[in-house]
Chains A and B, each alone.
Chain A
Amino acid sequence: MLRALGLRAIEDLFSDVPAEVRTDGLDLPPGLSEQDVVVRITEMLAANRSMDDMPMFLGGGIYDHFVPASVRAISSRSEFYTSYTPYQPELSQGILQALWEYQSLICELSGMDAANTSLYDASTALGEAALMAHRIHGGRVFVIPRAIRWNRRSVLQNYLLGGSLSVRDVDYDRTTGLLDLAKLREAVTPDVCGVYVETPNFFGRFEEQIEAIREVVADAVLVVGINPVAQAVLRPPGDYDADIVIGEGQALGNPANFGGPLLGIFACRQEHVRKMPGRVIGLTRDANGHRAFCMTLQTREQHIRREKAMSNICTNESLLAVSAAAYLAVLGSNGLRALAAENIRRAKDLAAAIDRIDGYVAPVFKGAHYNEFAVRAKKGYDRVRKGLLDHGVHGGIALKRYLPELENVALFTTTERHRPEHVERLLQALEALA
């Protein structure tokens, strides 16, 4: 090949790189055999304790649901995972249809008319939703619950830097854990472009005041944060006129992966479609009149619109969207609704069992929960958390980092994955540590 180019050495191909900037190779060790790489990484990672090694009662946005083997078999089809963004629809009809089906499934869950093929995760979906609320409404303040994961707040603040938008917090009711309606009324001033509400919320509570919240939000944009599995048994936000629905889609057939990749769900009403960020797949026809799919409304996107684009997002989380579609297809409405009910039931039972142990209150907030709930350890949670690890069980997330007034409170999560012996181990350890 060099000869064809009239060159002698491979170095001749780098003659345009000035000597002053040249480096001589890389200061890394030489390459390893495939076997050595596999052994080295597997051994390094063996220092981890996974959810297979120890029961964990962790949630807070990432949930350990059982994933049917069919889902991974589907997402492991190498035509799917080794393809690029489907810029050429004729060659990519399969993944385009799968992604359109994903959009459709998200719309069924949320009651929205349109969904994109994903954003990075729920936190960036929140940032993008705030920017979109500003595009729709014009106001410069975005209202969020004070009880929210701090990583979502931190991401939101970075996303809002450019639009000089500000974030306003609304506190929660100390008894119910729900949004404080009186405080929400005070917060929603005419310069508010949008309000973000989660259901289930940070404490696992279903937001029961949704109609009242809709009224307070009035003509500002209502953004609802969902858990897609819980959504199977909850009224769709489209029912109460939400404008935008976001959520973390990891729970739909994707592993926890130490927090990434995740699946940012983003859906909206048809009237807002042209202000939506991210890639969307549309229905159309081919030259012979056959049904076909392609990426569409691309004039919203960076490669066409550049700095006027709705977002800078290009690479997203499409493969996780395919997994989510496969998961929802395997479970169907029957499977998903039964799963959501099972999670609620288990959390209810677990909270009651913890509450029966002297030294703990669970749930801290009264009312209906999804699959997680706040637990108060009367003598402090730090010690309990460490003690649980010694008992071979991982306790919930300490909440004082997010909300300092919740000094001794932790968020415990359970799913269908926990076996009776896991729950038993937790309860015995809690009792021993009370």
Chain B
Amino acid sequence: MTFRQATYDEPLLFEKRSGDEATVDLTDLVPATIRRERLELPNLPEHDVVRHFTRLSQMTFGIDSGFYPLGSCTMKFNPKYAEELAALPTVARLHPDQDESTVQGALRLMFELQRALATISGMDAVTLQPAAGAQGELTGLLLAAAYHRDRGERRDQVILPDTAHGTNFASAGMLGFQIVEVPSKDGRVDVKALDAAVGPRTLAFMLTNPNTLGIFEERVLDIADVVHDAGALLYYDGANFNAILGKTSPGKMNFDIVHFNLHKTFTTPHGGGGPGSGPVGVRKPLEAYLPYPLIAFDGARYHLDYDRPKSIGKVRAWYGNFALLVRAYAYILRLGSDGLTEAAERAVLNANYTMHRLKGILEVPFGGIRKHEFVASAASLVPKGVRTVDVAKRLMDFGFHPPTVYFPHLVEEALMIEPTETETKETLDAFVDALARIVGEDPTTLKGAPHHTAVARVDEVRAAREAVLSWRTAKARKPDSL
């Protein structure tokens, strides 16, 4: 496939010709000591603003633009009906402090979604409050800490496998917990090493299953026993939930706490970085600690239940990313039990098919089948001076978003590939064909890539050195890059 990204030398908003400043009389409105006399935002014709951002959008690659096999991010099709529903005034134009009697529809939707997520995960109770996966982790660890504290125990260690997402480390670090990392064996948790690591200080063990290599942790019940025997809790990182829908559940695997990424598994759009949504499910013994309010139903009315004396309180303002909860619930209703299970099946099939076709082109460490994603390595290209980053950049020239690169760390020159269920065989074949061609290309072509994007390879080192994060700073410093 040939690909040429739209390219504009689009000036900054601030570089466009601004209309004249109008005067605003603030005399009786703002006391002189705190009054602002000028604000330097450009005054532009509306049509120019629309054209500006339209051009910028054309220099942006979304799932609607092409294949986006970003490992661990589950970039599947974002259905358009969900967008329409989220834009309804009965979603968008609700204030969170409205009287409960005026938001019965919203509360009902949230109540039903709490239940659906509990069913899907095999947990007893769910909070929809966390704003994203990482905030779900933070919430889950706060719940674990509250649970142990209530039992008179002070536990301050969080155990993580070396395949864990960076956010697991950061969430535990943010709460001041000590982190114990256990190495993997054959791409799986080394249960012996885990057994040696757990103890009376262990708060929780956080596990992604299937893990970030796309490998299912077959000994998950042994892992749960080891963790529970030490009095610790088992935490399920839901980033890879897409692989197991209907096939198993965190509950069935003896996990105690689960976070979901609605923007992955339940395909709410990721918005170029967010918003996301990271509900958390727990087993009965942890329910009392969930953030308030939960959405409750008394048989006649839905209400916000704040009467939760053991609750950890709040992790963000109000009740959750409601507009995304609407999208996710619409998706769950649309797919239903059959569709969600089929989504997992197709996601796993697509990953294994892509991996199978890629063998012989790139190295794929670790044997066996994978779940929804797999990790390949470009280490074999290093002798000819080519690295993973070069392969990734060159993929853009064929109209593909590159996979996640250099993660997980235990694979050298890693390319983490997650095709998702909404891609066709034709797309997967074209992607593998492109990689096959790239691997055979001369290093100069690869090092010079990408060639067909709005800009050539970007100098990230310079960006970090100059640290120019605003027009104000740019104007003051006049860096070369301006």
Interface-located stretch among A338-346, A357-365, A372-380, A424-432: A338-346
User: Quick one: given A261-B321, A283-B479, are A79 and B90 in contact (CB under 8 Å)?
Assistant: no
Q: Which residue of the partner chain, among B75, B91, B176, contacts A162 with CB atoms under 8 Å?
A: B176
Q: Which residue of the partner chain, among B34, B138, B276, contacts A312 with CB atoms under 8 Å?
A: B138
CA distance in complex: A291, B338 (Å): 49
Instruction: Produce 1/0 per residue, A316-354, CB < 8 A to B.
Output: 111110100110111111111110010011001000000
Is A104 a contact of B470 with CB atoms below 8 Å? yes
Q: Which residue of the partner chain, among B30, B171, B369, contacts A344 with CB atoms under 8 Å?
A: B30
Is B170 a contact of A90 with CB atoms below 8 Å? no
CA distance in complex: A53, B277 (Å): 28
Is B43 a contact of A79 with CB atoms below 8 Å? no
Is B313 a contact of A88 with CB atoms below 8 Å? no
Interface flag for A182 (CB, 8 Å): no
Q: Which residue of the partner chain, among B33, B401, B460, contacts A89 with CB atoms under 8 Å?
A: B460
CA distance in complex: A260, B96 (Å): 9
Interface flag for B379 (CB, 8 Å): no
Residue of A nearest to B312 (CB): A158
Is A82 a contact of B98 with CB atoms below 8 Å? no
Residue of A nearest to B368 (CB): A16
Is B35 a contact of A338 with CB atoms below 8 Å? no
Instruction: Produce 1/0 per residue, A14-25, CB < 8 A to B.
Output: 111110111111
Interface-located stretch among A110-118, A188-196, A214-222: A110-118
Q: Which residue of the partner chain, among B170, B319, B326, B469, contacts A259 with CB atoms under 8 Å?
A: B319
CB of B57 to closest CB in A, whole Å = 4
User: Quick one: given A56-B98, A334-B21, are A302 and B167 in contact (CB under 8 Å)?
Assistant: yes
Contacts of A335 in B (CB 8 A): 43
Residue of B nearest to A290 (CB): B455
User: Quick one: given A77-B54, A235-B36, A389-B101, are A319 and B317 in contact (CB under 8 Å)?
Assistant: no
Range for the number of chain B residues in contact with chain A: 35 or more
Q: Which residue of the partner chain, among A34, A54, A282, contacts B468 with CB atoms under 8 Å?
A: A282
Is B481 a contact of A285 with CB atoms below 8 Å? yes
Is A233 a contact of B36 with CB atoms below 8 Å? yes
CA distance in complex: A30, B119 (Å): 14
Contacts of A256 in B (CB 8 A): 92-96
Is A338 a contact of B319 with CB atoms below 8 Å? no
Range for the number of chain A residues in contact with chain B: 35 or more
Residue of B nearest to A367 (CB): B31
Interface flag for A419 (CB, 8 Å): no
CA distance in complex: A293, B16 (Å): 18
Is B407 a contact of A28 with CB atoms below 8 Å? no
CB of B150 to closest CB in A, whole Å = 15
Interface flag for B339 (CB, 8 Å): yes
Interface flag for B53 (CB, 8 Å): yes
User: Quick one: given A344-B29, A368-B30, are A161 and B95 in contact (CB under 8 Å)?
Assistant: no
Is B24 a contact of A338 with CB atoms below 8 Å? yes
CB of A390 to closest CB in B, whole Å = 11
User: Quick one: given A81-B271, A88-B401, are A37 and B316 in contact (CB under 8 Å)?
Assistant: no
Is A312 a contact of B270 with CB atoms below 8 Å? no
CA distance in complex: A262, B323 (Å): 10
Contacts of A172 in B (CB 8 A): none
Q: Which residue of the partner chain, among B244, B329, B480, contacts A285 with CB atoms under 8 Å?
A: B480
Is B247 a contact of A259 with CB atoms below 8 Å? no
Interface-located stretch among B59-67, B191-199, B200-208, B228-236: B59-67
Q: Which residue of the partner chain, among A37, A56, A297, A368, contacts B95 with CB atoms under 8 Å?
A: A56
CB of A335 to closest CB in B, whole Å = 8
Interface flag for B73 (CB, 8 Å): yes
CB of A224 to closest CB in B, whole Å = 12
Interface flag for B459 (CB, 8 Å): yes
Interface flag for A183 (CB, 8 Å): no
Among B29, B99, B464, which residue has the most Cβ atoms of chain A within 10 A?
A: B29
Among A4, A49, A260, A317, which residue has the most Cβ atoms of chain B within 10 A?
A: A260
CB of A332 to closest CB in B, whole Å = 4
Residue of A nearest to B302 (CB): A47
Among B174, B340, B357, B401, which residue has the most Cβ atoms of chain A within 10 A?
A: B174
CB of B454 to closest CB in A, whole Å = 4
Q: Which residue of the partner chain, among A30, A58, A94, A344, contacts B337 with CB atoms under 8 Å?
A: A30
Interface flag for B362 (CB, 8 Å): no
Q: Which residue of the partner chain, among A49, A296, A330, contacts B49 with CB atoms under 8 Å?
A: A330
Interface flag for B175 (CB, 8 Å): yes
Is B109 a contact of A206 with CB atoms below 8 Å? no
Is B456 a contact of A288 with CB atoms below 8 Å? yes
CB of B118 to closest CB in A, whole Å = 10
Interface flag for A107 (CB, 8 Å): yes
CB of A377 to closest CB in B, whole Å = 16
Is A26 a contact of B119 with CB atoms below 8 Å? yes
Interface flag for B297 (CB, 8 Å): no
CB of A309 to closest CB in B, whole Å = 4
CA distance in complex: A312, B177 (Å): 13
CB of A286 to closest CB in B, whole Å = 4
User: Quick one: given A120-B132, A286-B458, A317-B275, are A17 and B244 in contact (CB under 8 Å)?
Assistant: yes
Is A162 a contact of B177 with CB atoms below 8 Å? yes
CB of A41 to closest CB in B, whole Å = 5
Is A258 a contact of B176 with CB atoms below 8 Å? no
Is B352 a contact of A13 with CB atoms below 8 Å? yes
CB of B386 to closest CB in A, whole Å = 16
Instruction: Produce 1/0 per residue, B130-173, CB < 8 A to A.
Output: 01111101100010010000000000000000000111011111
Interface flag for B238 (CB, 8 Å): no
Is B132 a contact of A94 with CB atoms below 8 Å? no
Is B340 a contact of A28 with CB atoms below 8 Å? yes
Is B43 a contact of A94 with CB atoms below 8 Å? no
Interface flag for B437 (CB, 8 Å): no
Is B481 a contact of A291 with CB atoms below 8 Å? yes
CB of B217 to closest CB in A, whole Å = 9
What are 5 A-B contacts defined by CB distance under 8 Å? A85-B270, A155-B316, A158-B142, A284-B466, A329-B42
Question: Knowing that A79-B65, A286-B458, A337-B24 are A-B contacts, what are 11 other residue pairs whose CB atoms are under 8 Å apart, sorted by A's residue number?
Answer: A2-B349, A74-B49, A78-B62, A81-B83, A87-B70, A88-B392, A92-B59, A261-B321, A261-B323, A283-B466, A309-B174
Sorted nearest first, the 3 A-B pairs with minimum C-beta distance are: A259-B318, A319-B271, A307-B173
